[in-house]
A and B are shown apart, each in its own frame.
Chain A
Amino acid sequence: MSEKKIVRPYGDTTGDGMVQVSFTLPVPHDKRAEGAAVQLANKMGMDPAMLVHAKPIGDGFTFFVVYGRVNHLVDLDQVQVVERDFPLLSAKEVNTVVKQRMRRKLSVVGACIGTDAHTVGIDAILNVKGIAGEKGLEYYRELKVTNMGAQVSVPELVEAARQEKADAVLVSQVVTQRDAHLHNTREMSAAFREAMPAGKRPLLIVGGPRFDETMTAELGVDRIFGRGTTPGEVASYLVHALITARRASS
């Protein structure tokens, strides 16, 4: 039996197309404001749109909650995402592969670059503590982890990568104001390209909640990890990109 290709949102019945949205309009609450909210919902493809909640907030603003049926369809064949293209390994398996095939510790250098002071992402991946019950990369016996912390400059990062003979560099970017995460990432990848010849460059990996995982080429990095990435996925990717895939192709 073939899989469904075309889907629409599900409220309580297949095909009902029901969604809910909330938004604020910069108008005082009255009949006209409610009409304006319905008009917006209609333009978003919701028809009929049910205005279930309207409340004045602040001076001259109204908050709305709207439920309604959208007429848009989703074609699953047209969806483009980066699927995981490497096998997920346990910590033990990662250690074994590194030990047997690399015969030395795999060196990882991580940092938050630019003015970003949010170490929560890099710490979740690197600190022993890890995230959601999964231990971070420091826990892996065969990985040598250098966590530079927050607000590291790009030259400092390149220097540390050189000193630690990094096989991979992990950069976390949480702050996204004015696309700071994209600018910082481009600056970082350009600096590595300039400082090291192609064969000697570490694997460049960037992560953060607001990255588009398909932008690797544009940002000049080898891999982008988005929201919800676990240390195990990163470790498995490192083994894949640095050892198993490399050997297979050479």
Chain B
Amino acid sequence: MTGKLGLDPALVARARELARRAGQPVVDLARSHTTVSVERAVLRLAGVTGADPDGIPWVNRLVDAVVADVGLGHGVAVPVFDAMAREGVSDVTLLAQKAAAGSVRFVQPTAKAATAARRAARRAVAAGVRQIDRRRAERDRLVKRHGDPKQRPWIYLIVATGDIYEDIPQAQAAARAGADVIAVIRSTGQSLLDYVPEGATREGFAGTYATQENFRLMRAALDESSRELGRYVRLTNYASGLCMPEMATLAGLERLDMMLNDSMYGILFRDINPIRTFVDQRFSRQVHARAGIIINTGEDNYLTTADAVDEAHTVTVSQLLNEFFAHEAGLSDGLLGLGHAFEINPEVPESFRLELAHALLARELFPDAPLKWMPPTKHMTGDVFRGNLLDGFFNLVGTMTGQGILLVGMMTEAVVTPWLSDRDIALQNVRYVLGAAGGLHEDFVPAPGGFIQQRAHRVLGEAVELLERIGEQSLLTAIAEGTFGIMKRPADRGKGLDGVAKHEADYFNPATEILEQQPS
């Protein structure tokens, strides 16, 4: 599939090098800080489950109690396992309950007590990581048994009723109708909750809460569908927002297959503090790497707020940064669902050729990544007939440029949350295009020096220029000054900043230690 655009390998290498240079200071920052959500994820791996009668998870109560006594900068693992030894408690959830009741005091131990606490914490967290490993092996077995989808791109469909018990039959119906990947959209605003809700949920706003129990229920239902259909149906949720590391952990524990996980989305679109985001990002990506979860990045979002022609290069820049951060966290190319979208105004002359150029550029820059191709939303006007036509052209670009994951576009985008019939019509559209032109990428070679090649070269050139500008000032400054998607996000502002701490000299995180070793 490579070589259709005649890209200059030296320029591509330079783009990657610039992305590395822009990203490295952020990685250093992430390695020297922790967050309440990272520490809660550690405790989840160590076996803390459940919530108090008000629905606040025990991991939150426990982290809050530790922070109140010794602060966040040492990491919570050592104080927690030290307290377990002193209190003679063997169940870490029980300790959380006692701590919430105020009957446990935490200290940062030294010498022998510290060594013992580290050992105990490491043992408990290793058990959680082993559970993630078992889940990954289970996926491998099931994929082998049921098989992968027969075609590329994989067909990705969204369900979002707010009620997990309503979502399940809808997801199973969607799988039967041809969906290879089911995404359960989260309730609006969940990304700004600083805790993960508990249990099966039946109410949400424009989506269904992501909870461990909802993950489990949906995965079990899709396992049933996989058996019935003879192909492994994948499940997707969101590792984003303030609880990103915990979401990644729960996804690993419940064998989700893909997670939306972008390096900058939370900063730009949710006004989450940049440092909080980058710290949470790195940990969540390490978990995804261990769990074999494909991440989906959010570049499509840039184009919903900025112009898809003028700002096409910001997508490329973000893809390169996402790739750098992902590789650094241990994700292989096969797990990089880098995002991009069909969002050029259809009134722009040659808009389809421009879309082809951009999509092919992403394909050639990241030949081994299962690129996630996102449908038009911004120029869906409510004219459902025109919308269906646009979606058809979107599907055509998807197959002509060998995209990995195709999010099915709905002609009722911007009108209603998809109806049963909308989904059926949309899938019919995809099936027609893949059936009629599924092999067209073999014949489609843009003319040398022609419109598509020139456009791709220009976007890559602009991306390199932007990366050079970022390199001169640093990524955090660029974000603060509104380089991406117009929003200005300074590093000392934004939501969740009070849950960030710089590592103390004796910071200890058994999960990071284990995740940074090679899997055994």
Contacts and interface: CB of A to CB of B under 8 A. Distances in A.
Query: Do they bind each other?
Result: yes
Interface of A: 22-24, 55, 57-59, 61, 63, 115-117, 119-120, 123, 127, 129, 149-151, 175, 177-178, 180, 209, 227
Contacts of B205: 115, 175, 177-178, 180
Interface in B387-422: 414, 419-421
Given A115-B188, A175-B205, 9 more contacts: A22-B421, A24-B421, A57-B420, A59-B173, A63-B424, A117-B189, A119-B305, A150-B269, A177-B162
A57 B174 CA distance: 10
A213 B240 CA distance: 36
Contact of B270 (A23, A57, A151, A177): A151
Contacts of A177: 162, 188, 205-206
Contacts, number: 64
Interface residues of B, number: 27
Nearest to A55: B424
A127 B310 CA distance: 15
Given A120-B305, A149-B271, A24 B420 contact: yes
Contact of B382 (A22, A120, A227): A227
Given A127-B486, A175-B206, A58 B271 contact: no
Interface of B: 162, 173, 176-177, 188-189, 191-192, 205-206, 269-271, 304-307, 378, 382, 414, 419-421, 424-425, 486-487
B116 to A, nearest CB: 45
A227 B191 CA distance: 27
Nearest to A178: B205
B260 to A, nearest CB: 14
8 A-B pairs with the lowest CB-CB distances in the bound complex, closest first: A115-B189, A57-B424, A58-B173, A63-B421, A24-B421, A177-B205, A115-B188, A177-B206
Contacts of A149: 271, 487
B419 to A, nearest CB: 7
B34 to A, nearest CB: 25
A178 B382 CA distance: 21
Contacts of A24: 419-421
Contacts of B424: 55, 57-58, 63
A63 B419 CA distance: 11
Given A117-B188, A150-B271, A129 B177 contact: no
Contacts of A63: 420-421, 424-425
A209 B421 CA distance: 22
Nearest to B203: A178
A121 to B, nearest CB: 11
Given A119-B305, A175-B205, A151 B378 contact: no
Contacts of A115: 188-189, 192, 205
